[in-house]
Amino acid sequence: MTSSPFPRRVALISVHTSPLAQPGTGDAGGMNVYVWQTATRLARRGVEVEIFTRATSSADAPSVAAAPGVTVRNVVAGPFEGLDKRDLPAQLCAFTAGVLRAEAAQAPGYYDVIHSHYWLSGQVGWLARDRWGVPLVHTAHTLAAVKNASLADGDTAEPQLRVIGEQQVVGEADRMVANTQTEAAELLSMYGAAAERIDVVTPGADLDCYTPGSASAARAALDLDPDEMIVTFVGRIQPLKAPDLLVAAAAPLIRESAASGRKLRVLIVGGPSGSGLQRPTALMDQVAELGIADSVTFLPPQPAERLVQVYRASDVVAVPSHSESFGLVAIEAQACGTPVIAANVGGLGVAVDDGRTGVLVNGHGVGDWTNALEKLLAQPDRLVELGHNARSHAEQFSWEHTVDQLLESYGRAMRSFAAHRSPESPDSSATAAAAARVRRRWRRRRNRVTV
């Protein structure tokens, strides 16, 4: 079997959120972790990585050497602040111009592969692919059609603009990277993707960072009661992630625990995001209305070294999302030896081994979640067993394994693209000529002297 080509340099495109941003704030989340972790590990394998993202502050340097072999390019496109994902389609032209200028300053053939993340980036990558004459690999991370099919109460449907944009990217990408077989099936059934162009590449966790440790020490570090039961939510506070479901389900158990001897606490770690920004205090208001404010602790998004302590301090981590392409929080928690209770949606069925490392709950009924939580928390010996199994399960999901699979996908894309753009291909000369014209134009602009 012919080995896949190895890329020398990869352009990662992440329009709407920088991998340097703190996950859990604004639009930053699992995708940030994915881009950063894969970029740094690709660099360790000898692949140079340049990440293009939108500048969100005048203090952002145009280019940042973020790690050995990894450069983050902050492209100015629109105002620095006050834009969310729904505003960004209007800035794609400006962003794309910045990406093309960066490449035009280099020798032809500077990048070997473009890897776009989320549909906005796919739109940029699609044009760059045609101009540069290199393959486009795309990871959707979330799909509008999937989200709209399982909207949470109070959430806003994704606009048709995004659905159309995603459809275009699916049709144009040389390869699609899906997190799980479930997501691959959704690409096939909802977007008509070509099965032969889909690679399933499972995300991972930083298994050197997220490790089991002392629960009592973690609670001391976080100033949490050593004797309470703790159920934790980690993520962006928005209807999609359903922290309101966890609070509602835990409320009767909190009241019962007050009289039973061992109190129950819900720990919420994250910040408002997406449609949750419309009512940023909604979750706190709900807690107050339920009369459980004394038993719910809110923490802001935590850096990895503190998030480890959050997971270790928890008896159970809850992931009640209405849709989830994978669920990095579930893997990170299990890597710390903490069992997970999660909604049986999307990739969570892969991230959690039901009955062995945690519990999957069908649906989002408050009563169902209350019953599942009550049964789980009432069995301390089972929690210990689940936690022990959780670490071994998480070890199957390393970022090194993810990068192994990505390199294979890049190689397939490069090999297929080269075959279709060979000298015998009717459109190869036109594509090369167009790319050369773009480079010449941008070089003239760069070298122009202003008097």
Q: Which tens digits make up the pLDDT trace of 56-87?
A: 888 999 999 999 999 999 999 999 887 777 88
Lowest mean pLDDT among 43-47, 77-81, 247-251, 447-451: 447-451
pLDDT of amino acid 153: 81
Domain interval for residue 289: 215-395
Q: Which residues, other chains included, contact 420 with Cβ-Cβ below 8 Å and sequence gap of 6+?
A: none
Q: Is 68 inside any structural domain?
A: yes
Mean predicted lDDT score pLDDT of the chain? 90
Please provide residue 78's backbone torsions phi and psi, each rounded to the nearest 5 degrees. 85, 180
pLDDT of amino acid 442: 45
Question: What is the band of 224 on the pLDDT scale with cuts at 50, 70, 90?
Answer: very high
Q: Which residues pair with 48 in a beta bridge?
A: 9
| Binding-site positions for 1D-myo-inositol 3-phosphate | 16, 27-32, 85, 118, 142, 162
Tokens representing residue 406 in the block? 């990505």
State the average pLDDT over residues 227-245. Answer: 95
CB neighbourhood size of 60 (10 A): 19
Instruction: Clarify whether residues 171 and 198 are in a common domain.
Output: yes
Question: What is the band of 244 on the pLDDT scale with cuts at 50, 70, 90?
Answer: very high
pLDDT of amino acid 451: 31
pLDDT of amino acid 395: 96
Instruction: Clarify whether residues 290 and 407 are in a common domain.
Output: no
Q: Is 192 inside any structural domain?
A: yes
Q: Can you list the positions of beta strands (E) in 91-133?
A: 113-117
Instruction: Clarify whether residues 330 and 279 are in a common domain.
Output: yes
pLDDT of amino acid 4: 66
**C-alpha span between 65 and 72 (Å, rounded):** 6
Instruction: Clarify whether residues 336 and 407 are in a common domain.
Output: no
Instruction: Clarify whether residues 273 and 320 are in a common domain.
Output: yes
| Binding-site positions for Mg(2+) | 311-312, 314, 338
Q: Is 437 inside any structural domain?
A: no
State the average pLDDT over residues 283-306. Answer: 95
State the average pLDDT over residues 391-399. Answer: 96
Q: Is 442 inside any structural domain?
A: no
Residue 2 burial by Cβ neighbours in a 10 Å radius (0-12, 13-18, 19+): exposed
User: How many whole angstroms from its chain centre is CA 284?
Assistant: 25
Q: Which residues, other chains included, contact 147 with Cβ-Cβ below 8 Å and sequence gap of 6+?
A: 157, 158, 240, 322, 323
State the average pLDDT over residues 271-295. Answer: 84
Question: What is the band of 450 on the pLDDT scale with cuts at 50, 70, 90?
Answer: very low
Long-range contacts of 54-63 (CB under 8 A, 24+ apart): 54/15, 54/16, 54/18, 54/78, 54/88, 54/91, 54/95, 55/80, 56/18, 56/80, 56/81, 57/81
Q: Return the closest-CA partner of residue 35 out of 61, 15, 6, 9.
A: 15
Instruction: Clarify whether residues 223 and 271 are in a common domain.
Output: yes
Q: Is 353 inside any structural domain?
A: yes
Q: Which residues, other chains included, contact 343 with Cβ-Cβ below 8 Å and sequence gap of 6+?
A: 242, 319, 320, 321, 322, 324, 360, 361, 363, 364
Question: What is the band of 278 on the pLDDT scale with cuts at 50, 70, 90?
Answer: low
Tokens representing residue 367 in the block? 């009563």
pLDDT of amino acid 445: 45
Domain CATH for 163:
3.40.50.2000
Tokens representing residue 425 in the block? 């291909």
Q: What global pTM score does this model have?
A: 0.89
| Binding-site positions | 16, 22-23, 27-32, 85, 118, 142, 162, 236, 241, 302, 311-312, 314, 324, 332, 338
Tokens representing residue 345 in the block? 């949606």
Q: Is 226 inside any structural domain?
A: yes
Q: Is 252 inside any structural domain?
A: yes
Domain count, the chain: 2
Instruction: Clarify whether residues 271 and 295 are in a common domain.
Output: yes
Q: Is 26 inside any structural domain?
A: yes
Tokens representing residue 311 in the block? 């997971």
| Binding-site positions for UDP-N-acetyl-alpha-D-glucosamine | 22-23, 30, 236, 241, 302, 324, 332
pLDDT of amino acid 273: 64
Instruction: Output the CA–CA distances (angstroms, integers) from residue 230 to 21, 257, 262, in the order listed.
Output: 28, 12, 10
